Amino acid sequence: MRRLEELQFDNTYARLPAAFHSKVSPTPFPAPYLVSFNPAAAELIDLDPRESERAEFVEYFGGRRTLPGASPLAMLYAGHQFGSYVPQLGDGRAILLGEVRNTRGDKWDLHLKGAGQTPYSRGFDGRAVLRSTIREYLCGEAMHALGIPTSRALCIVGSDEPVRRETIETAAMLVRMSESHVRFGTFEVFYYRQQPERVRELADYVISNHFTELAAAEDKYQQFLLEVARRTARLIAKWQAVGFAHGVMNTDNMSVLGLTLDYGPFGFLDDYRAGFVCNHSDYSGRYAFDQQPAVGLWNVSRLAQTLVNLITVEEATTALGVYQPAFAAHYGELVRAKLGLTTEADGDAELLLDLLSLLEANGVDYTNFFRRLGNFDTATAGARHDELRDMFVEPEAFDAWAARYRARLHAEASADAARKSRMDAVNPKYVLRNYLAQDAITAAVERRDYTEIERLRETLSAPFKEQPGRERYAESPPDWGKRLAVSCSS
């Protein structure tokens, strides 16, 4: 394990021409202090967790000092926001400190979010608030533990510096970690500026650093688009299966590596609602839960457009054609596992869709229902399942569905104990519900009590395990927590 000053930087993005970024240093916090530290993320960059106890730690990640070997910069990109193209965005409040390689050869960006103004701030203050950093910090870890590709976070550094959002709040910086922060919008900015040589240069960079198996292929640009389409489809299938809504699927928030990036007004489903909109600024419902698969394809199509000088229209069409089959195949695989099925059969889609309709009509908690479904007893036809039936306003409707489900399980000779073990391994007991995040935020903001952040991080790191003493984190939200308004500033 290494000290901070011994981290091994390999700043490949900084070696790209100046057209791709602007050199800029963080704006330091006055009197920074550590809010939370994530030892699991530290391990990814070979950082000794005891380094978080040094005074220098918050100086490096509070903007007051530069790590040896780092090369701070703000990345340029553009993007489609709610369907409309915005010609220049970029890192308006985040700075890429540098790229650290660990002893296994993996590379991790250290991205300081909330680091102050950059040339891309568009008049804004360049800061993040403690509320939003807590949400992103916790959700990255929750998603990783759920097996969903995502950025991670090393730590939160706080400050008493006031920041105006809807109200006056205190500032914070998040050290976000990702294999790359190249977005669909990074390609778009050069396409719309009519700089095809820059698009090619960026594509070559991404392929040589992140899709190395494609580097020697004659059709590497089409293969790159194919792989992005496939990864994006599989990512969103995972979102849908676990009940996660991103909230702002703008092309500048979409990673070319198929990672979940930029946690803002996200939300996990409580009561199942197909049209769940987690962002109160999304007035049209463009990014509703059930719209995410289609938006993913729309976004990949925007990326395909940027490659017009590198691939033919036919090649682009072929690449885009893999998206929907990849999504359907992976989502089908995931939901069959959630139902405890080991085979695929005619009627499975109807069985699932009818269940989802029942959950919505009865206001049933999505996560808790699937977790409890693992206890389903197939031994006796007509057996009652009170813990499941009691979740429904119309229990007879559940009984009718349960009879079909029991018959399906019998058809593949399902054994209850083995099935429960499989289902518990894919149906989480714990997800980051908005009210749980709000509890941690309230304690941190109002009382400077960060213990709930740590308890949540630890709980969410093992979402499929029974955790005695932490059952309350699996409860459906109280009335006040069911309709929390979450905005882009969150």
User: Which positions are catalytic?
Assistant: 252
The single-letter DSSP state of residue 261 is: -
- Alpha-carbon dihedral angle through residues 444, 445, 446, 448, given to the nearest 10 degrees: 40
Sign of CA dihedral 43, 47, 48, 51: negative
Determine the Cα–Cα distance for residues 287 and 140; give it in Å rounded to an integer.
Answer: 20
Q: Which two tokens mark 225?
A: 């688009």
Distances (CA, A) of 452 to 173, 282, 439, 484: 19, 30, 8, 19
Q: Specify the amino acid at residue 10.
A: D
Determine the Cα–Cα distance for residues 220 and 488; give it in Å rounded to an integer.
Answer: 36
Q: Specify the amino acid at residue 358.
A: L
* CB distance 162 to 168 below 8 Å: yes
Determine the Cα–Cα distance for residues 138 and 172; give it in Å rounded to an integer.
Answer: 14
Burial class of residue 309, CB neighbours in 10 A (0-12, 13-18, 19+): exposed
**Phi then psi for 109, rounded to 5 degrees?**
-65, 140
CA-based nearest residue to 149, from 293, 299, 267, 261: 261
What contacts 64, CB < 8 A, 6 or more positions away?
28, 29, 32
Q: Which two tokens mark 458?
A: 């630890």
* CB distance 115 to 229 below 8 Å: no
